[in-house]
Structure 1
């Protein structure tokens, strides 16, 4: 990947969309929260997500990203201390546009969000011609 600035990719990401409150991570269960999480992570990691076209002219347009969210599941495992953990995961599919090539390249190498020890956060991308 020489300089993918502005380049578009089809992507897939299994991730743990969550927020930290009172020292605990809480999984984001609502679709709008999951979309907001991914949009925020995109800004942090050098990419943006196209907005979903709104064709309902009877209402005010709703700003939403064009992403498909599926396969929501609770993963269970154990910490190195033996304590049980549960991690909420979702599968994101969509198209992204690279805004910061170096940051994006680093993201592909290191992943996004929590749960990497359970295989979450790694993004697969395919260039769009």
Structure 2
């Protein structure tokens, strides 16, 4: 008989070293697979600790992906447990990406102002 996890238990596994997802009421430990995911680890990390069924189905995965998914299965979700909302803390990587974007925007604005002033 498979192990049964509450939504809260799954939600607690949403980090880069310990990442679980739910697909069709089954719980999968994708911690080791996320770095190998052809679509990148970001999508898995965004869905870590949550029900990823809609995203998984929308993408349309290959037979090979479905076989691989079976190897990551660790149990079922307790559908009678209370669903929870997973709150993601901003990572240093996403913060640095945001900072880099801000720097680029400011550089473009400054170049635009300098161009305008030089051409008056």
| TM-score, with structure 1 as normaliser | 0.24
More strand by percentage? 1
Which structure has more helix as a fraction of its residues? 2
Larger Cα-atom Rg: 2
Bigger relative contact order (CA 8 A; separation at least 6): 1
